[in-house]
Amino acid sequence: QSRLVALDPVRPDEMLIAMNLRNRRFHDVYRLNLQNGEIQMVSRNGGFQYGWVADSRLRVRVAANPAAVIVRDSPAQPWRVARRWQDGSSGRLIGQSRDDQTFYVLNSIPNGDTEAVLAVDIASGEETVVAHDPKYDVEDVLIDPLTRQIQAVAFHREKLEWQVLDPSIADDFGLLAKLHPGQFTVLHAPYGSPMLPSRNLGRRDLDNRTWIVSYDNADGPMFHYAYDRNSKTATLLFADRPKLEKFKLAPMQPVSYQSRDGLTIHAYLTVPAGIPAKNLPVVMLVHGGPWSRDRWGYHGAVQWLANRGYGVLQVNYRGSTGYGRNFVIASYKEWGGKMHEDVVDGARWLIEQGVADEKRIAIMGASFGGYATLVGVTLTPELFAAGVSRVGISSLLTHEKNRPPYWSPLRGVWARRMGDPAKDEEMLRSRSPLYFADRVQVPLLIAHGANDVRVVAAESEQMVRALREANKPVEYFVYQDEGHSINRAENRHHFYAKAEEFLAKHLGGRFEPATELTGHAGVTK
């Protein structure tokens, strides 16, 4: 497994990549010569490093491990701790200044809650808050590729909102906010940390005159413009899904409700276009991670479900990122516990609001969302009419044993957040759907990729076996040429066609028979 570490336009013939060639558990950093393909190890992982940023000479002098940011004065010097991560905060490296005196991170300030952009002096450890919001974590960062100056930061509140730090681009951002409906993004390609996952599709040239700007809407395609900063004009390039323009898609509404223990839970509600939001069949679509979040914007699966007549609620349950570290800490050892209660409370809120028909609520998701689905139909079987689980975890005990080797640096994080099998075995067993298959009262559809290394296919295999031994209804599909995602078009066609047929049968939504399903797409078990 390889990961990009750094690119720099000042050194266009080289790049840094991390690969676990020497040890499957740990990544070392290599310099790749783009002219002749030669690689050279430039930073050997002493154990537990999982992130790096490069200085102006593409040297690795700043790294991250689960406990702290570590630095060294030169590649020949020993590492020392520069800053410790705050518990519950994701802790992400962003980059290093052009003068190599400062590194930038996303993390909470001491005794703070939400993640801020912090500038930390490498020599002294003194840190400065660059940008911060008291309620929301920083979502994204715009960095000038040549100067490495942080120019703007984004917070995903209900929608994506930018805070401009560099006055030289303030007028540009003001114009771009009015150019096209939706939330816009613009980001450079040549420099930036892959430790900061970005949904931005934007690009800009190195003379900083032309920007490629992307506009995301929940109810339509993404539009891409070329923006000329000199003339202050923009030219539409294309829409990424132009066929969507002729359809009336469903709007996505940010909502919130109170959990049973008093937390504010943020969510997104989508209802079918042109249909009153009353007494609808509803799909609770649970995101994976769990340390990620649902965002406002176009989601193909959400629009598909809404088109078939379902309301869709996407819940950012406790543990979801973006809402501060205390919201994450509230999820510790609550897999299948309070995290699931947040989803259940969302379903009950929809019933109270009159949006959902209480007899026609399904739960659906992938990865952690697949686990949440299995939890829903085993631990709260009276609430849901059906469940669709893809690459879902069925036992927290077996999942812990089968996680990929390159996740080993985060073993302590998993033990603290999910639970330690050595100390919390009974708790983890009580939150594992595998051991409660006999409680299932509703039909299940389960799918898995045979090559999945994050959640191995045995997780679904053992759940299906337990369900069938208990004479419970389950459909099962294995995709022999897929892993944790479904990437091949024929497999996606097969899965969504089967899921649509399944939901229509048990919730009563609209169903369009598939015109063609390739023979090798899925293997029924």
d(CA 318, CA 352): 21
d(CA 497, CA 500): 5
484 catalytic residue (yes or no): yes
Residue that has been written with the tokens 């497999």 in this structure:
491
d(CA 42, CA 15): 11
At residue 68, the 3 state secondary structure works out as: strand
| Contact between 286 and 363 (Cβ < 8 Å) | yes
Q: What is the largest CA-CA distance in the chain?
A: 70
d(CA 495, CA 508): 18
| Contact between 273 and 250 (Cβ < 8 Å) | yes
At residue 496, the 3 state secondary structure works out as: helix
Q: How does strand 386-390 pair with strand 474-479?
A: unpaired
| Nearest alpha-carbon partner for 27 in 17, 12, 40 | 17
d(CA 411, CA 401): 11
Neighbour tally for 429: CB within 10 Å: 15
At residue 207, the 3 state secondary structure works out as: coil
Q: Find residue 377's DSSP bridge partners.
A: none
Q: Residue 290, preceding bond cis, omega within 30 degrees? A: yes
Neighbour tally for 174: CB within 10 Å: 10
Residue that has been written with the tokens 């609620």 in this structure:
313
Q: How does strand 233-239 pair with strand 210-216?
A: unpaired
Residue of 452, 460, 494, 506 marked active site: 452
| Contact between 385 and 360 (Cβ < 8 Å) | yes
The set of long-range contacts for 246-249, using a CB threshold of 8 Å and a minimum separation of 24, is 248/219, 248/273, 248/274, 249/218, 249/219, 249/220, 249/273, 249/303, 249/306, 249/307
Half-sphere exposure of 341 (CA within 13 A, CB side): 12
Contacts of 414 (CB under 8 A, 6+ apart): 400, 403, 407
367 catalytic residue (yes or no): yes
At residue 152, the 3 state secondary structure works out as: strand
DSSP string, 39-62: EEEEE---SS--EEEE-TTS-EEE
Residue of 299, 448, 484, 506 marked active site: 484
| Contact between 339 and 331 (Cβ < 8 Å) | yes
Residue of 97, 108, 331, 367 marked active site: 367
Provide the annotated active-site residues: 367, 452, 484
